[in-house]
Structure 1
Amino acid sequence: MKSLALLPPPGAAHAPVAASRALAPWGDDVKRILCVRTDNLGDVLMTTPAFHALRDACPGRHLTMLASTAGATLAPFLPDIDDVIHYEAPWSRSRPPRSHPADLAIRALLEERRFDAAVIFTVYSQNPLPAATLCYLAGIPHRLARCRENPYALLDDWVRETEPEQGTQHEVERQLTLVRAVGASTNDTRMRMRMRELDRKTLAATLARRHIDAEIPFIVIHPGASAESRRYPAERFGAAAAQLVLATGMNVLITGNQSEAPLIRAAIDAAGPSARPFMHDLTDAFDLGAFAALIERATVVVSNNSGPVHIACALGTPVVDLYALTNPQHGPWQTPHRVLFNDVECRWCYRSVCPQGHHACLRGIPPADVAKAALDLLDETGEPASGAQPASNAIATHTG
């Protein structure tokens, strides 16, 4: 099995990312910090160690997150975030049509909140200067971000952007090194998601209504992803699921939102009639809290590289990550895992649809490898079958 770390990074060289230039640490007077992270759920989760470092650096700090709909939904589960401002930023993709009065209203709100500092968290393909301009116009005195060009007055604290030309960091480490530049560091670099008993009870009630015994070990498979280029074929998920049922006798819970219902049905159909009694369609069955509780209870999660992988990492759940080679920075972090991919010359394309049309980085992974990776994780974490009886040897696998 190949490791992402062994593949050539995007850009010209294997050189490590250059060290940040020296910045003055933020003092005890920097109490109210705006954390700007206006992209997706997984991006927010991968920033949680940096949130913790900011809070840990100075007692009494108050952190507010400026977030998209996905990020705002996640905010109640983030232990280091005190409150959230929902903002569909015009510099973020896939946003609905809008007019500038909404942006002026956000600027006024930020000014009214009188923040001492703002940290603008970005992936390296994003430009921080629109957010920096907003924070500058709101009168926030300290503004920190990574930037390629000289931001002049828009950022008073900034780290030169060197990715991807001088190598890349995992997204967690990227954000930790950013805040470390102003004196915020932590020895605890885990991703964080705070679970609530209400969500665990909601999960139990939802599974009970569907006649699924939550006390019996189960596997979660998530065949969807927001980008087509990051989706392993649903039929192959089904073939892998059939092999897992055969080996463990566990229930396999297939999750996704309403738009992913065809993928879920295709995976269940491909598993074949013998495995089907163990397969459960959980299309649109949960809100975020109950879904996280499901991930928390799973023996292993098998998923495309999408939000469920990052939730699993935050909760310490073993995960098999079907990793399309579109972006090298967003793999699993500090949880038992296997990363599966087929190496291709066109790696790190950053495209939502495979530009070559072959989708070989995912289609080159046999379902048997997916099942083996999950079984290896179950063995390593002491969860093999957990009392469940293997299903009949008559189960057949179908690749569709």
Structure 2
Amino acid sequence: MSAPCERQRLWQGARRVLAIRLDNLGDLLMTTPALVALRTSLPQAHIALLASSAGAALASHVPVVDEVLAYDAPWVKRPAGALERSLGPGEAEARMVRILAEARFDAAVIFTVCTQSALPAALLCLQAGIPLRLAYSRENPYELLSDWIADTEVPADGMRHEAQRQLDLVHHVGLQADAQRLLFRFKVEEALAMRHKFERAGGDLTRPYFVVHPGATAASRRWPAERFGQAAQALADATGCQAVFSGGPDELPLIHEAMAAMRDGGEGAVSLGGELVLGELASLIAGAQVTLCNNSAPAHLAAALNAPVVVLYALTNPQHTPWQARARVLNHPVPCRHCLKSVCPERHHDCLERVPPQDVVQAALDLMGPLPGVPLHPASPCIPHPVTALG
């Protein structure tokens, strides 16, 4: 359904807009085309983003947003320790209502995946006195939302991509943009810092490299770490490129396991595990010949940077593949697909376990282009990788 002209006129008049996306970093990256649509349609507006602590890391990398507020909502799955233990029940929510009320927003857009409810966030916005509130909803929200789309989506083959879902939401009230790529920018300083850490870890910036990122927040979305090591060794042998491993501090055991599966325990590989902040990781991916990863934030960073990526894509959710990317998406078909589980309920993990390392290597070689005779591009750039213009 389309919003009446009067509703679109009200939205076009909004001057202080709150965008809400409270789940993971990758989910927020897939929402950036809709954020671009907000900025393009409302060029004079102040746009604030309410995000989880993880999502708030994007603050300096999405130039269409003027400010970011961090909030780990109790109705969204959070990492252990994210709760504010010093506050009593409901105190964090009451404090957020006060913050939003003092900001005097004219409008709020609540972005959710189809398995989430927007209504808790809608209530937060209603209590804060925000008059325009837009979201998807499965049930009639009555006065919780001023504008809404009936949510009939269920995880299934052929469903629309998450990025398109959010673009369709803002289009419902007449907000849209021509540019629909994911958006991420990193700074020159972050690229230079990455290069320093690369060399300090024993890497050679005069040689091309590929990135291996074996982690993912959910165990069900992780290809076995030793397979990443086997694929990395085979790809290094086939191309002469350096294997560079990345991941957060909590993913160091996976990196060690992957490198242990390489020849001589990964002696010739480079580990930047636990070393890179988000912009530095993006710089690393932008300069790589290819990135090998699970369905996790690096896959969406690669898509935003137009960098080639091979994704070991568990069949837990069908709508989160790399958006408009130079990508190869690998998995094994299983009847239990679309389970939405963080741990494989069947315990066999066949959707990933049955993908052999040689398939990953071949997919990477296909993306890298014919060898030999075609020079590989240089190692990581010193300047930010170009991204789609906003206007």
TM above 0.5, yes or no, is: yes
**What percentage of aligned pairs have identical amino acids?**
46
Does the 8 Å CA contact 2:293/2:311 hold for their aligned counterparts?
yes
Tell whether the 8 Å contact from 2:211 to 2:245 is kept in structure 1 after alignment.
yes
Instruction: For residue 125 of structure 1, report the CA deviation from its aligned partner.
Output: 0.7
2:19 match: 35
Counterpart position of 1:398? none
Aligned to 1:181: 172
2:52 aligns with: 68
| 1:374 aligns with one of 338, 357, 364 | 364
d(CA) in 2 for partners of 1:88, 1:364: 36
2:202 maps to amino acid: H
Kept in 2, the 8 Å contact 1:248–1:385? The answer is: no
Alignment of 1:326 onto 2:310: no
Deviations 1:227-249 (A, max 9, x none): 00000011111111111011101
On the 8 A contact 1:250/1:278 being kept in 2, the answer is no
Moved more, 23-32 or 260-269: 23-32
Aligned to 2:300: 310
Q: Distance in 1 between matches of 2:234 and 2:176?
A: 44
Aligned equivalents of 1:343 and 1:62: distance in 2? Answer: 45
Q: CA deviation at 1:172?
A: 0.3
Q: Does residue 123 of the first structure (1) align with residue 107 of the second (2)?
A: no
Query: 1:78-227 residue pairs with structure 2 within 5 A?
Result: 78-94=62-78, 95-96=82-83, 97=85, 99=88, 100-164=90-154, 168-227=159-218
Report matched runs for 1:231-250 at 5 Å.
Answer: 231-250=222-241
Partner of 2:386: none
8 A Cα contact 1:45 1:191, kept in partner: yes
TM-aligned CA deviation for residue 299 of structure 1: 1.2
d(CA) in 1 for partners of 2:333, 2:344:
14
In structure 2, how many angstroms separate the alpha carbons of the residues matched to 1:231 and 1:179? 33
CA change 1:354–1:21 in 2 (3 A) is same
1:248–1:384 CA contact under 8 A, matched in 2: no
CA deviations 1:248-296 (Å, max 9, x no partner) are: 01000011122221211111111222x8343112220111121111111
Question: d(CA) in 2 for partners of 1:271 and 1:183?
Answer: 53
The alpha-carbon distance between structure 1 residues 215 and 310, as it changes in their structure 2 partners (threshold 3 A), is: same
Name whichever of 111-120 and 282-291 sits farther off: 282-291
Q: Which runs of 5+ in 1 are unaligned?
A: 1-19, 389-400
Equivalence for 2:387: none
Normalised by the length of structure 1, the TM-score is: 0.88
Tell me, which stretches of 5 or more residues in structure 2 are unaligned? Answer: 379-391
Partners in 1 of 2:374 and 2:51 — Cα distance? 39
Distance 1:104 1:355 in 2: 37
In the TM superposition, what is the alpha-carbon distance from 1:218 to its structure 2 partner? 0.5
What is the RMSD computed on CA atoms of the aligned residues? 1.9
User: After superposition, what is the alpha-carbon deviation per residue over 1:302-342, rounded to whole angstroms, capped at 9, x for unaligned?
Assistant: 00000110111111110001000000010011121100000
Q: Tell me if the contact between 2:155 and 2:338 (Cα under 8 Å) persists in the aligned partners.
A: no
The total of aligned residue pairs comes to 368
